[in-house]
Structure 1
């Protein structure tokens, strides 16, 4: 059902006060906006720093900012001023969700800790996005994606894989933590729908990525006594990499026994033997398996291998790039990209990756200029709508 402002989606009618910045929190609330929530982004007079870190059609509208803040309304207020605090209190009174990414001490100094916000609105879901949980000794440390990757062992496992410690080529800690903040907030909203109770939620980027890394890498270290180190051998096998073909590269994972038998029957490599015939055997000798496959896959073109693997229903892909995704035939067919007219020209957004039969989401609209909605939003609350409150 559409909300009063015409938004549609499973979160239509949900009001979110968003005090997050950079990527973790804004990615969480961007998905809420695409799913129909009315997200009011509260920014300081200078704006969210991520406005200025990459290219954009105008200053303060970088590509990263535009993507993770699409469909939101921007209110620019000085929360250190009495007028700014009054404005935020009025927003909180009508909100379903309050989400921030300040350190605990900072949000408390401003007068918007959970206890204070819950006193204004007892049923609110209050989500804290932190670098480290405030319950631990690292609670006061600043955190960014690179430092969290390092703290959680990502460069370590990259070194096992490639011989050199490296970050992965995407801000995985920010994005995984943003998705975690989203599902945690949604669970709290679900509880409120059942019971009428609001509550406080805490999401630490460090704890989130530690959990993410240990899904497979906990491995033998989980047991008492430990049965091995905290590492998943297949992920860090030195020969685990895209295979070079006679004219390029291919990614393929011949994983289960059916797939393996079909491949061996079709190709009949000279090195085929009982040692590799079962998943258990291949797992024990995984780096040798990768090396053997590399020898064989170098003998045909990428296209020839793709035709064979697709015919055998073995997962395989040619190597692509982020730029190539904009011309991907599958993404185009499913309508993944959505073009939105904005004041600075059309923007082709990567769209909503999920599908709902009754309440579909969609790109909620353009990202806001700094403070573009201050007058409108505060005017609706009966407050002075002047920009940069305070």
Structure 2
């Protein structure tokens, strides 16, 4: 696999892989961030104005906002104005050294610039070329702009939130971007696996709407999958209004007293006044899950959070204390396993959320900070690409 020997290869499962990354915001960059953590050399290509995520959240200096710094960590960075032929030629030279080309531009836009799949394959025949789109090119919504909020709306998230809360609402995380990013990651890796076995590259398309529709319909398809449908397309337990953290005397606790083993243990230990044979089996409780949640809610009000945690943990019932996202940085478990990785940057130390997967032979790690705009232009566009310039020039004649 292509990797210029002037760049030190890390010890990760993707070490030796070179990725040309023309993605922006979160969908594509999240996929390539994981590739970088796993050892790939990811070269992020940005326009002169930079990726929008440089500016949408705060950071120690302008242009290095928190989201940008996180999803672009460990990448190389070049700035190219692809409206200029000289910069397009520089990108062609980089492509000639690459294993993966991934972008999040609209299909017509990337084609106008001369970097559609056929054009890129002409430079590097075995390349894996991944398109990150909002909607498939095969459907009527091809080239329609897409953002996390609009995709959440179209795949049904606000609808099911409304079934739970009485009013439609988004979930408080950019779920569509991140789920689609994970799809882009595994799809690219599968194409690379095919190339490893056959030597054959290919084009891959990953779309936010289709990814999130698949994601939502795992459980929410429910009885709507059958002909004729047996239920509406939602999973009733997930949208039950009483499904929420239980309020205690002094806070809240999350607990799932769901299967028969956990239910019987809870009833025997707590002996709530409403316990009866009508709740004896999972099937019985599932038919009246809202009532069950309501009765449990009344019971949880009788003790403190810590008292409930002590009781539930002794019974091996899944439970957790509610914590904020700020508290994750002080979480005992995460700190015990060394989850956070501190990296020195020009802007000072950054404490990154680390790699959530573990490999016994080729562990991933945060390779370094996110690039400043165009920081690697000199090295990558002169030293690295000069060796392939004659071949590219010859092909263009």
- Specify the alignment match of 1:310 in structure 2: 313
- Specify the alignment match of 2:393 in structure 1: none
Structure 2 residue aligned with 1:128, among 128, 131, 134?
Answer: 131
- Specify the alignment match of 1:382 in structure 2: 386
The answer on whether the counterparts of 2:24 and 2:104 sit within 8 Å (CA) in structure 1 is: yes
In structure 2, what is the Cα distance between the partners aligned to 1:130 and 1:112?
A: 15
Q: Which runs of 5+ in 2 are unaligned?
A: 388-397
1:281 Cα offset (Å): 1.1
In structure 2, what is the Cα distance between the partners aligned to 1:371 and 1:13?
A: 23
- Specify the alignment match of 2:96 in structure 1: 93
The answer on whether the counterparts of 1:243 and 1:294 sit within 8 Å (CA) in structure 2 is: yes
Please give the secondary structure, in 2, of the residue aligned with 1:349: strand
1:108 Cα offset (Å): 0.5
Question: Would you say 1:250 and 2:253 are equivalent positions?
Answer: yes
Please give the secondary structure, in 2, of the residue aligned with 1:134: coil
Root-mean-square deviation over aligned CA pairs: 1.4
1:244 Cα offset (Å): 0.4
In structure 2, what is the Cα distance between the partners aligned to 1:140 and 1:178?
A: 18
Matches within 5 A, 1:65-76: 65-76=68-79
Question: Would you say 1:10 and 2:39 are equivalent positions?
Answer: no
Question: Would you say 1:215 and 2:221 are equivalent positions?
Answer: no
The answer on whether the counterparts of 2:9 and 2:16 sit within 8 Å (CA) in structure 1 is: no
CA shift in 2, pair 1:314/1:321, >3 Å: same
1:69 Cα offset (Å): 0.2
Question: Would you say 1:351 and 2:354 are equivalent positions?
Answer: yes
In structure 1, what is the Cα distance between the partners aligned to 2:193 and 2:176?
A: 26
* Paired residue total: 384
- Specify the alignment match of 2:50 in structure 1: 47
Question: Would you say 1:284 and 2:287 are equivalent positions?
Answer: yes
Question: Would you say 1:300 and 2:303 are equivalent positions?
Answer: yes
Report the TM-score, using the length of structure 2 for normalisation: 0.95
Please give the secondary structure, in 2, of the residue aligned with 1:381: helix
Structure 2 residue aligned with 1:231, among 229, 234, 237?
Answer: 234
Question: Would you say 1:103 and 2:106 are equivalent positions?
Answer: yes
Matches within 5 A, 1:73-88: 73-88=76-91
Please give the secondary structure, in 2, of the residue aligned with 1:105: helix
The answer on whether the counterparts of 1:3 and 1:12 sit within 8 Å (CA) in structure 2 is: no
In structure 2, what is the Cα distance between the partners aligned to 1:212 and 1:194?
A: 29
In structure 1, what is the Cα distance between the partners aligned to 2:204 and 2:258?
A: 39
In structure 1, what is the Cα distance between the partners aligned to 2:164 and 2:317?
A: 24
- Specify the alignment match of 2:165 in structure 1: 162
- Specify the alignment match of 1:323 in structure 2: 326
Please give the secondary structure, in 1, of the residue aligned with 2:386: coil
- Specify the alignment match of 1:190 in structure 2: 193
Structure 1 residue aligned with 2:119, among 113, 116, 132?
Answer: 116
In structure 2, what is the Cα distance between the partners aligned to 1:150 and 1:356?
A: 37
1:3 Cα offset (Å): 10
1:6 Cα offset (Å): 3.1
Report the TM-score, using the length of structure 1 for normalisation: 0.97
For residues 195-245 of structure 1, the C-alpha deviation after alignment (integer angstroms, 9 at most, x for no partner) is 111011100101000101000000000001111100000000010111100
